[in-house]
Amino acid sequence: MSKRYAMAIDMKRCVGCSACVIACKEENGLALAAFRSWVEIETRGTYPALALEIHSERCEQCSDAACVSNCPTGASYYARGGVVLVQRELCTGCKACVAACPYEARYIHHDGYADKCTFCLHRVEKGLLPACASACPTQSITFGDLNDPSSDLVKLLRSRQWKQLRADAGTKPNLYYLT
C-alpha cells in the first residue's frame, strides 16, 4: 500500500518554544525572513478563567490541496506519501497557491518560486524524521504513515482525541492536533 505521511502534534506536551521553527529554518537553509513553520498561541477566556491552545503549524499537506488544484503551471504536485511539493522550475511565482491556501503556509522565495514545508522529504527518504519532529524537545511532533496501522502516529490517533485546523476549508489536511 502506498504511504500517506501525516503528523500528530500534541498540544498537551507542546510548550510553544519554537525549536521546531528554528530547526526547520536551519535544516532548509531559509532566509531570516522566511518561515515554513511557525507557532500560534491562542488565548481563550478572561482572567482568571483562561485556556491556551498552542499550535506548531506548517503546511497541512492536504489530500485535496487547494494549492495544487489552483496551480496554473503544475508546479505544485503530490509527491511520495502525498506530500505536496513545488517543482521550482515550473513555478512562475504567480501566487495563486498563496492565495488559495487556507493555512497561509506558503510564501514566495526570494528566487521567485512558491515555497513551503516539504515534510523534509529529503530526510524522510533517508529514513530520518522531518527536522521539526527530530528537534522538538518535548517530543510533541509525531511523524508517520497513516496507512501503517502499527505506526506510532496511527496508535496516537486511535488512542487520543484530536482536532484539525480549519477542517471546514475542505482540503483534507494531514496535521492532527492532539487535545
Partner 1 sequence: MAFTRRDFIRIGAMAGGVAAASGLTTDWWSLQARTIPDPKTDGDHVVPTFCELCFWKCGVLAHVKNGRVTKITGNPAHPLSKGRLCPRGEAATALLYDPDRLKTPLIRRAKRGQQVFEAVTWAVALDETAKRMDAIRTKYGPEAFALFTHGWGGSWFTRLMQAYGSPNVAAPSYAQCRGPREAGFTLTFGQGLGSPESIDIENARCITLIGSHLGENMHNTQVQELATAIGRGAELVVVDPRFSIAASKAKYWLPIRPGTDIALLLAWMNVIITEKRYDADYVAKYAEGFDQLAKHVESKTPEWAYPITGIEPQLIRDSARLIASARPASLIHPGRHVTWYGDDTQRLRSIAILSALLGSWGRRGGYILPSAMELPKYPGRKPQQPARAVADRREPSLYPLADETLASGVCDATIPGKAPYQLKGWMVYGTNLMQALPAPQQTEKAIQELDFLVAIDVLPAEITGWSDIVLPESTYLERYDDVWAPAYKEPFIAMRQPAVEPMYDSKPGWWIARELAARLGLHDYFDWQHPLDVVRWRVEAAGQSLAKLRATGVVQGARVPVSEEEGLALSFDTPSKKIELFSSTLASAGFDPLPDYSPHPQPPDGMFRLLMGRAPTHTFGRMANNRLAGAVYPENELWLNTLVAKSLDVKNGDRVTLENQDGVKSLPVRAKVTERIRGDCVYMVHGWGHTANGMKFARHRGASDSELVSRYATDPVMGGTGMNVNFVRVLKAEA
Query: Does 107 interact with partner 1 (rule: CB under 8 A)?
Result: no
Query: Does 166 interact with partner 1 (rule: CB under 8 A)?
Result: no
Residue type, 59: C
d(CA 70, CA 128): 31
CB of residue 158 vs partner 1: minimum separation in angstroms?
Answer: 16
Binding span for partner 1 by CB under 8 A among 29-37, 55-63, 99-107, 166-174: 29-37
Query: Does 134 interact with partner 1 (rule: CB under 8 A)?
Result: yes
Query: Does 132 interact with partner 1 (rule: CB under 8 A)?
Result: no
Query: Does 88 interact with partner 1 (rule: CB under 8 A)?
Result: yes
* Interacting residues of 89 by C-beta distance below 8 A, sequence separation 6+: 75
Residue 99: C-alpha distances to residues 95, 116, 165 (Å): 6, 13, 17
**DSSP SS3 for 18:** coil
Query: Does 156 interact with partner 1 (rule: CB under 8 A)?
Result: no
d(CA 88, CA 76): 9
CB of residue 168 vs partner 1: minimum separation in angstroms?
Answer: 25
Q: Which is nearer to partner 1, 139 or 167 (CB)?
A: 139
Buried b (16+ CB within 10 A) or exposed e, 48-60: eeeeebbbbbbbb
Note the residues at the interface with partner 1 (CB under 8 A): 2, 10, 12-13, 15-19, 21-23, 25-29, 32-33, 35, 39, 41, 43, 45-48, 50-52, 54, 73-74, 77-80, 85-90, 118, 121-122, 125, 134-140
